[in-house]
């Protein structure tokens, strides 16, 4: 094992895939000399050249559309958006072209592309640079959606996303980039659609992903001091969903709290709650509870932004409510 940051793990995973397959290319703004806004592609231009590391104008709809066309011709583009908030101007290319092409051609055309995008609050980036929009993409058939939390997961999942023959939305929380963790030295991949139990427990299942995994783990430690044994299930991939992992955990604990940083209204937690209630109702000892961000624009002011998204104490409160503690 070796220690590296989440950003370095993503960089290493992409570099390995570019070295393995000459069809893998990078497309986005400031990818070359700057190495992307968060330095993820630092050194790629020198190593792989301008034909595979393509710097673009500030025109997300054009270079995302270009990537769709390239993917249809057998290239494997990795598109980087500076922030997920900017994907709105490219939603036709993502939603109506990339997501639907394989189905509408009867499988004759594949679109093996990845759209990488930083997301999340906590950096005082205000309303247009701080959203978690994963729910938008889970609603669109044809897209796969990945939200890693750890460095090991980020590397293994980016490699699988690049190798996948369908379009993958790969969402990276900005405040996880600097987090350093152990990563295997040998080459490995993590399959899409496979959740991971980050902490085993028997009293309640906390289902979450991305940065909230760490908040859930912190909450679980606090709950343990009061004799409450919480299981933390990191979905890692929202689409495809590891329903078997959810079913197994809920069947064991019989109580569920779903935690995500996106706003609560119409969030992915609501979909999970509905599916658990519909299919696992007899296993539940209490109603499924959601912990999510407030239904407001992400504020700029530090005190307001901190009140906007969930923290460990919010998860602790929710678990106690579910367990009537």
As a whole number of angstroms, the distance between CA 315 and CA 154 comes to 24
As a whole number of angstroms, the distance between CA 298 and CA 14 comes to 31
Sheet holding 230-234, edge to edge: 196-199, 230-234, 204-208, 256-263, 289-293
261 is catalytic: no
**Cα Rg, the chain, nearest whole Å:** 20
Structure tokens that stand for 120 in this block: 């999340």
As a whole number of angstroms, the distance between CA 169 and CA 166 comes to 10
Which residue in the list 12, 17, 55, 60 is annotated as catalytic?
Answer: 60
Looking at the DSSP bridge assignments, the partners of residue 289 are 257
As a whole number of angstroms, the distance between CA 302 and CA 190 comes to 36
CA distances from 68 to 64, 136, 291 (A): 6, 19, 36
* Short-list 101, 38, 111, CA closest to 71: 111
Neighbours of 82 (CB within 10 A): 17
As a whole number of angstroms, the distance between CA 200 and CA 127 comes to 36
As a whole number of angstroms, the distance between CA 155 and CA 235 comes to 16
Which residue in the list 12, 17, 80, 129 is annotated as catalytic?
Answer: 129
Whether the CB-CB separation of 202 and 231 falls below 8 Å is answered with yes
173 is catalytic: no
As a whole number of angstroms, the distance between CA 55 and CA 85 comes to 20
Catalytic residues: 60, 129
């Amino acid at each position: 094992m070796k220690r590296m940051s989440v950003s370095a793990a993503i960089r290493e995973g992409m570099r390995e895939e570019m070295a393995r397959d000459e069809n893998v290319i990078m497309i986005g703004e400031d990818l070359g000399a700057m190495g992307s806004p968060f330095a993820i592609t630092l050194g790629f231009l020198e190593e792989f050249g301008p034909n595979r590391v393509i710097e673009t104008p500030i025109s997300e709809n054009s270079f995302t559309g270009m990537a769709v066309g390239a993917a249809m011709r057998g290239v494997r583009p990795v598109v980087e958006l500076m922030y997920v908030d900017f994907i709105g101007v490219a939603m036709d290319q993502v939603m109506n072209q990339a997501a639907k092409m394989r189905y509408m051609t009867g499988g004759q055309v594949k679109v093996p592309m990845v759209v990488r995008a930083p997301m999340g609050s906590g950096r005082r980036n205000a309303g247009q640079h701080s959203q978690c929009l994963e729910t938008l993409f889970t609603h669109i058939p044809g897209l796969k959606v990945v939200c890693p939390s750890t460095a090991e997961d980020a590397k293994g999942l980016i490699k699988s996303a690049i190798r996948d023959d369908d379009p993958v939305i790969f969402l990276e929380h900005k405040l996880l980039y600097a987090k350093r963790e152990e990563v295997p030295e040998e080459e490995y991949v993590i399959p899409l659609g496979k959740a991971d139990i980050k902490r085993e427990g028997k009293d309640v299942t906390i289902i979450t992903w991305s940065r909230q995994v760490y908040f859930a783990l912190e909450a679980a430690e606090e709950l343990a001091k009061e004799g409450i044994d919480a299981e933390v299930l990191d979905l890692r991939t929202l689409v495809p969903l590891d329903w078997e992992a959810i079913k197994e955990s809920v069947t064991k604990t019989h109580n569920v709290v779903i935690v995500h940083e996106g706003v609560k209204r119409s969030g992915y937690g609501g979909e999970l709650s509905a599916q658990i209630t519909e299919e696992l109702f007899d296993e539940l000892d209490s109603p499924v509870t959601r912990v999510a961000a407030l239904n407001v624009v992400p504020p700029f002011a530090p005190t307001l932004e901190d009140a906007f998204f969930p923290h460990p104490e919010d998860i602790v409160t929710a678990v106690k409510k579910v367990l009537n503690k």
